[in-house]
Structure formats: C-alpha cells, structure tokens
C-alpha cells in the first residue's frame, strides 16, 4: 500500500514513511492510493471479536506489510492496555435508536488517545529499526497535545514540542501537558489562537531546510496513522449493534473541529461499513457547517467557547474530504488551496459539492444550547457529558429517526469540569487513575507568535 499527497506533487510513500513525515512536502496530506474493501463475511465475523482483534483486521491492509502481523498485534495490545475500560470504546444505549460511543477511557480522557497511544508505539518501532531521532511538533486545541505528550514522554528517540493557545484550553488539559517531568517533553504556550498555533506548525513543516535539520515529524490529525486508528471504533461500534447481517444502515454524529474524526468515518464507509449519514456537529465556530450550506470555504475569526477542542475555523483534514469530492483530482485540490492562500477563500465546484452532500450533513450548537443539552441529558439519562459531546447530541436530535444513530462522546466530562458544573450543578470527578493531576508542579515555555524565535528555541532544546 502506497500513500499519495492530496496535492499530487510529493513523492508517494509507504505507510511507515507517511507516518513519520506527517505533512507531505507539497503542503498536501497523505491518503492511501486506494481504500481497501471489507467483504460481508469478514464484517459478520466482527460481531464476536474484541476491540483489539477488530483493530488488527481493520488496520492491517493500511499497513501494507511494512510491519509484520505479530508485531502489529503486539503494538495494538500495548497501545490500549492503559485504557480504564475492558471494552475500550463502550457503546451506551441512550434511547431506542440512539447510542453514545464513549471514547474517553484512555489515559488523557479524550478520543485522541486511541490514535496517539498507537502511534507512540509505532514510532518507537520504526525509529529503533532506523536508528533515527525525530522532533515531533504539534499544535493543539487541548486534547491532541495532552495525548501526544502522554504517548511520547520518555521515549529517547523523540523530542516532543506542543504549541497551545495561551489561555485557550481547560486547566485539566493544560496540566496534562505541563506536569510530565520527562526532559523530552516541551509544552509551549503561544500568544494566539489554535489556528495561530496550527499555522506556525504548517510554516515549520514548509521550511524544508529546518524540517530536515531537526528531522521534523508531525502527529497532528493530518497524520494518516491517526485517521487509520480512528477507523477502528467506527467498525467496533457498528459491530456491537448487531446489524452487520442485515441491510440496515447507521448514522453517526461527530463533534468536529479539525475534521479528523469524521473523516475516519468516511473512510469506514468507503471500506464498506453500512453508514448512511456522517453528521458534522460544530460549535459557534461553524465554518464547516456554513461550507456545507453554501459551498463557500472562507476563513473566519475564531471565538472561544466551552468546547475549546473545536474552536477551529481552518479544518486541516477537510482537504482530504475535498480530494475525494473532486474524485481524487489532486491538481484541483492544489488549485483550491493556492486560491485560499491568495484570497482567503474558495468556492467548491458543483460536482464536488454534490459529492460532499452525499456523505456529509451538518448542524451547529451555540453556547446556550450546549449548556442546555448537558443539563437535559444529565436529568434524562443520569449521565454527565462533556461540552463537545453535548454539541454533538444537540445536532443529532435533528437527525434521530428510523436509522440507529451513534453519537460520539469525545471527552470525559471531568476534563471540562467548569462548564459541566455550571450546566448541571454537579462537579464531575476525575477517574482515580489520573486524580493526582492537581498535585504536580507545572513546566511551560511562553513564546510569541514569531517563527524565528520558535525555531531557535526548538534547536536549542534538542541540542541539550
């Protein structure tokens, strides 16, 4: 299996190379040259399999033989051993046709752990094999950074730098990044928004001499390996509904920011999983919702919300969705993104727009609605949900009907205690295994939004 860039101007790579490089050298994102299909028999067999076994079957075709079967099994076992729940991604029934997929039982309490724990293991294997050292740089709206630091802390072949928006994340998120004491962990707070941090990371990757000098690797959701890991829980959750024997389909609602999670749903659908609608749920930063309504893609200002992991207006992975909407025409994708750079916007062509509408639907929740949903599900089902999950549940309401709906619960409510308590009057408790977070001391470097300063800091840190 080879991977090609959405912009068509970078060399094609195997799985391992695509994983280690992150962003393609032409500014595009790597996608598999073809999407593997599952046959019916294999589908049916999933109903009796564990999460770990499903993960092996789903990911194997994407790895394309660069990692042996036994090694892959081993990696998967290790990646998910620290999840505080046997089922890894339990499916909870809310009402007759509505299910909540809990993705927050990993070490940092958000769905990002599913991908990050896996690529932590995969990086380790590849780097020791190649005797290489890399510098990982990522931007975070809170959860990616904590998951990355947790996955890479103490791994000697890796230095991990995480840029987060100063004041733009919850205290639990910040502490998860600033309390690890390992010397290879560098939490950097940036004077700006998440989009600022993400733009810095893109600029660092596009500076090819810097990129080569420090051996840059990316673990943001642009990294294909993360998408691949997230495909697994679409399969596991549908298999738990017991419908893979029938012709029934399922809808998914996904709280969306950078479009990685929902794009994994699209890949699952292309692999043959019986998904009807993929519903994008956005908070007040509703650029994707507007794009789906109007075919106009235009950068907007970012507003802070109580669901900070979705405070994003430029969704990197949407480029992958466009690539498929344009029938894999990379020249068109390249043209659109040049236009975005020059004019701050582009218009999606008619055919491509129709293709997007075939798979994706969307809705949005403002702050008041998000609080209301947290309160309502608290009363109705006796569960606490985080604000991101609440945005999804609000949007899902409009699509409940004949087909089963699976709503993704993307973070643990205790990761966002202030908003949850304000909505419900109940303070969500951190699970025991992470409850010492507030006792540890913090370590963080504050930097301005200036590329040269950031580059110098990185070079100094990795030299010591």
Ligand X SMILES: *Cc1c(COP(=O)(O)O)cnc(C)c1O
Minimum CB separation of residue 414 from ligand X in Å reads 12
Q: Please, which residue, 194 or 337, has the CB nearer to ligand X? A: 194
- Among residues 112, 202, 277, 415, the one annotated as catalytic is 112
Contact residues: ligand X, CB under 6 A? 110, 112, 143, 221, 255-261, 309-310, 388, 410-411
Minimum CB separation of residue 252 from ligand X in Å reads 12
Minimum CB separation of residue 450 from ligand X in Å reads 26
Q: Please, where are the H alpha helices in 215-329? A: 224-241, 260-270, 287-294, 318-325
Distance CA 401, CA 105 (A): 29
Distance CA 425, CA 375 (A): 9
| Edge-to-edge order in the sheet of strand 98-102 | 91-95, 98-102, 405-409, 250-255, 275-282, 360-364
CB 358 within 8 A of CB 327: no
Minimum CB separation of residue 27 from ligand X in Å reads 19
> 187 forms bridges with which residues in the sheet?
162
| Helix/strand/coil for 137 | strand
Q: Please, which residue, 305 or 309, has the CB nearer to ligand X? A: 309
CA dist 12 → 5, 35, 226, 321 (Å): 7, 15, 18, 19
- Return the closest-CA partner of residue 9 out of 23, 28, 22: 28
Q: Please, which residue, 288 or 405, has the CB nearer to ligand X? A: 288
CA dist 263 → 106, 117, 230, 266, 319 (Å): 21, 19, 9, 5, 10
Query: How many CA within 13 A on the CB side of residue 424?
Result: 28
- Return the closest-CA partner of residue 300 out of 340, 336, 331: 340
CB 308 within 8 A of CB 256: no
Q: Please, which residue, 102 or 332, has the CB nearer to ligand X? A: 102
Q: Please, which residue, 407 or 410, has the CB nearer to ligand X? A: 410
Say which residue the tokens 């405070």 belong to.
311
Q: Looking at 146-232, which runs of residues are DSSP E strands?
A: 158-165, 185-190, 216-218
Q: Does 112 participate in catalysis according to the annotation?
A: yes
Q: Please, which residue, 112 or 361, has the CB nearer to ligand X? A: 112
Say which residue the tokens 């993360």 belong to.
226
Q: Please, which residue, 88 or 388, has the CB nearer to ligand X? A: 388
Minimum CB separation of residue 76 from ligand X in Å reads 21
| Helix/strand/coil for 189 | strand
Minimum CB separation of residue 188 from ligand X in Å reads 19
Minimum CB separation of residue 420 from ligand X in Å reads 13
CB 123 within 8 A of CB 158: yes
Distance CA 238, CA 242 (A): 7
Distance CA 5, CA 425 (A): 48
Minimum CB separation of residue 103 from ligand X in Å reads 9
Residues in the chain: 464
Q: Please, which residue, 284 or 410, has the CB nearer to ligand X? A: 410
The catalytic residues are 112
């Amino acid at each position: 299996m080879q991977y090609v860039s959405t912009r068509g101007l970078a060399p094609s790579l195997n799985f391992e190379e695509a994983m280690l490089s992150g962003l393609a050298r032409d500014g595009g994102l790597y996608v598999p040259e073809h999407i593997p299909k599952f046959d019916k028999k294999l589908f049916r067999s999933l109903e009796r399999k564990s999460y770990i076994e499903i993960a092996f079957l789903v990911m194997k075709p994407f790895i394309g033989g660069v990692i042996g079967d036994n090694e892959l099994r081993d990696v998967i076992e290790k990646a998910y051993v620290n999840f505080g729940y046997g089922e890894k991604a339990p499916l909870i029934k809310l009402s007759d046709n509505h299910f909540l997929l809990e993705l927050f039982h990993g070490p940092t309490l958000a769905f990002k752990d599913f991908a990050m724990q896996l690529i932590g293991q995969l990086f380790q294997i590849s780097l020791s094999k190649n005797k290489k050292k890399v510098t990982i740089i990522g931007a975070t709206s809170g959860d990616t950074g904590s998951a990355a630091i947790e996955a890479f802390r103490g791994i000697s072949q890796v230095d991990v730098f995480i840029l987060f928006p100063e004041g733009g994340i919850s205290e639990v998120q910040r502490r998860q990044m600033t309390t690890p004491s390992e010397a290879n962990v560098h939490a950097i707070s940036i004077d700006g928004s998440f989009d600022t941090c993400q733009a810095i990371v893109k600029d660092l990757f596009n500076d090819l001499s810097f990129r080569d000098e420090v051996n840059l690797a990316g673990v943001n959701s642009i990294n294909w390996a993360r998408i691949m890991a997230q495909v697994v829980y679409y399969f596991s959750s549908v298999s738990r509904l017991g419908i893979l024997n029938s012709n029934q389909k399922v809808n998914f609602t996904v709280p969306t920011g950078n479009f990685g999670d929902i794009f994994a749903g699209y890949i699952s659908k292309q692999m043959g999983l019986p998904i009807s609608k993929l519903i994008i749920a956005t908070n007040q930063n509703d650029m994707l919702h507007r794009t789906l309504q109007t075919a106009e893609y235009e950068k907007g200002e970012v507003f802070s919300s109580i669901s900070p992991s979705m405070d994003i207006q430029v969704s990197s992975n949407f480029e992958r969705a466009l690539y498929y909407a344009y029938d894999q025409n990379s020249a068109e994708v390249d043209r659109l993104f040049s236009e975005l750079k020059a004019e701050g916007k582009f218009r999606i062509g008619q055919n491509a727009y129709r293709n997007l509408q075939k798979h994706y639907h969307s809705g949005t929740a403002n702050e008041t609605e998000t609080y209301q949903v947290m309160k309502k599900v608290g009363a109705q089902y006796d569960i606490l949900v985080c604000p991101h999950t609440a945005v999804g549940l609000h949007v899902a309401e409009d699509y409940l009907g004949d087909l089963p709906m699976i709503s993704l619960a993307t973070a643990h409510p205790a990761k966002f205690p202030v908003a949850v308590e304000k909505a419900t009057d109940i303070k969500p408790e951190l699970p025991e295994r992470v409850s010492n977070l507030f006792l540890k001391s913090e370590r963080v470097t504050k930097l301005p939004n200036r590329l040269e300063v950031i580059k110098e800091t990185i070079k100094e840190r990795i030299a010591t």
